[in-house]
Amino acid sequence: MPGFELFGEQERKQVEEVLDTGVLMRYGFDAMRNGQWKALELETALAKRMQVKHAQLVSSGTSALTVALACAGVGAGDEVIMPTFTFVASFESILALGAVPILVDVDDTLALHPEAVEKAITEKTRVIMPVHMCGSMADLKSLKSLCEKHGLLLLEDACQAIGGTFEGKPLGSYGDLGCFSFDYVKTITCGEGGALITNNDTYKLKADHYSDHGHDHVGNDRGAETHAFLGYNYRISELNAAVGLAQIDRLDEFLAIQQRNYTILREALKVIPEVSFRRVPLGGEESYAFLNFFLPDETTAKKVHRAFGNEGVDACFYWYDNNWHYYRKWEHLTNLKALGKLPQAVYEQLPDYNKADFTKSDHWVGRTISCLIKLGWQEKEVQLRADKMVDIILNSL
C-alpha cells in the first residue's frame, strides 16, 4: 500500500470513460452516461471479491462506518465497543449518530482484547466494533462468540486490512457488517471513498437509501423518488468509483507485492532475539500492508524509531505518540470538544477517559513500531532496507 504508487493505464482508462460522458454523479442523467455506471460496477465487483451479497459505496471509510451503524439502527444512547488503538474515525462515526464510544484495551494482536470487551458490555451495548489495524485482525472467533452470547452486532472495521482473511473468509465478511476505506493511502484507493459490505438484505436497502438523503431509488425519475426515512449525503462520485474499479482488479497484484516485501523485512528482523511480532489469530492471514513488531520496552521502541528517522528509514510509525491513532492524545474526545451540544446520553454515559486505565494497551502499543509496506519498492531495495533496519536495531539495544 498505497495503491496510488502503481497508478497506470487501467485507472486512466476508467476515468476517461467517465469524463467522456460528462456524468460525474453516480445517480441520474441516464441518457447522458452511455451505459457507464462505475459505482454500481464497483459495488458488484467488491461484493464478489468479498464473498458477500451486497456492497454499498460511500464517500469515505468514516462514512462507511457511520452508514453501517445507522442501517443497523444504532442511535442516541446506544453503546459501541471499540479499541484504544484505531483511527479517530471510529469514534467520530459513533458520535455522529448520538451513540457512545466505549474504549477497550487491545492485546498482542493490536486489536480488541476479548476479555476486556466482555467486561465492558452493558445493557446499552449494541455493537462490538473490532478495528483490523495495520493489515491484521482481531480475535474474531472470540468476539463473534461474545456477540452471539449477548445478542450484539459484530461490525468489522477493515479499513486498513483489505485482502486479509480469517478462517478463509475475507476480512469484513466475517461479521454482520464490514467497512473499508479507499482513501488516498489505502491498498486500494479511489482517491476518496469507502464501502460497507453485508449479507443482510435489509441493511443493504437501508444503507442505499440513507447514504443518499433517504432516496428510495425506485423508478428512473430522481425527482419523483420518495423517502422512507431521513438520510444524509454520503455518496461517492463516478470519478472516484472509476479509479477504484481499476484498482480492485489489481488487488491480487498488490497483495503479492506486499507479501514479498513484508516477508523480506520480517525474515531479516526475526533473527534479533529482542524483536517479536504481533500475534495473528489462528486461522488468519494478514494483508501484509504493514510489518508490526515489538521491542523490549517503550524506551527502546522510541530510540529505534528515532534512529530510523535519522538514518532515512521512512514510513515507520510509532503509534504510541500519534494523535490520530491512539487514545492518549484524543483530547477532543476525552474533553468532548464539539461545535454544538452533543446528545445528553453522550454526556451521561461516556466514561471519563482522562482517568481511564489502559495500561494493558500501553504495554503493547508503547513497544510497537509499524512499518508501511510500499508497493513501489523493488526487491533489491527492500533487502537493503531490511539490512539497514537490522543494523539500526542492534545498535540501539
Query: What percent of the chain shows pLDDT beyond 90?
Result: 99
What's the pLDDT score for residue 1?
85
H-helix segments, the chain: 9-21, 38-49, 61-71, 89-96, 114-120, 140-150, 201-210, 238-248, 251-269, 298-310, 331-334, 344-349, 359-365, 379-396
Query: What percent of the chain shows pLDDT beyond 70?
Result: 100
Instruction: State the catalytic residues.
Output: 186
96-146 pLDDT per residue, tens: 999 999 999 999 999 999 999 999 999 999 999 999 999 999 999 999 999
Going from N- to C-terminal start, the domains of the chain cover 3-250, 252-396
- Mean pLDDT, residues 255-277: 98
- Mean pLDDT, residues 134-160: 98
Query: Helix %, strand %, coil % for the chain, to 5?
Result: 45, 15, 40
pTM for this one? Answer: 0.97
Task: Find all residues with CB under 8 Å of 36, minimum gap 6, and list them.
Answer: 17, 18, 21, 23, 238
Task: Find all residues with CB under 8 Å of 343, minimum gap 6, and list them.
Answer: 76, 77, 98
Q: At what angle do helices 61-71 and 89-96 cross, to 10 degrees?
A: 40
301-317 burial, b for 16+ CB within 10 Å, e for fewer?
bbbbbebbeeeebeebb
Task: Find all residues with CB under 8 Å of 366, minimum gap 6, and list them.
Answer: 297, 298, 301, 320
**CATH superfamily label, 252-396:** Aspartate Aminotransferase, domain 1 (3.90.1150.10)
Residue 5 clears pLDDT 90, i.e. is over it = yes
For residue 323, what pLDDT band results from cuts at 50, 70 and 90?
A: very high
Give the distance between the most distant pair of CA atoms in the chain.
Answer: 69
CA angle 315, 391, 374 (to 5 degrees): 25
Closest residue by Cα to residue 207 from 69, 62, 59: 69
DSSP string covering 350-368: S--TTS---HHHHHHHTTE
What's the pLDDT score for residue 314?
95
Residue 59 clears pLDDT 90, i.e. is over it = yes
Task: Provide the residue type at 397 as one letter.
Answer: L
Cell numbers 500492508 correspond to what residue? 289
For residue 34, what pLDDT band results from cuts at 50, 70 and 90?
A: very high
Residue 243 clears pLDDT 90, i.e. is over it = yes
Mean pLDDT of the chain: 97
For residue 397, what pLDDT band results from cuts at 50, 70 and 90?
A: very high
What's the pLDDT score for residue 372?
98
Residue 277 clears pLDDT 90, i.e. is over it = yes
* Distance in angstroms (rounded) separating the CA atoms of residues 157 and 172: 7
DSSP string covering 56-98: EEES-HHHHHHHHHHHTT--TT-EEEEESBS-THHHHHHHHTT
Please give the class, per CATH, of domain 3-250: alpha beta
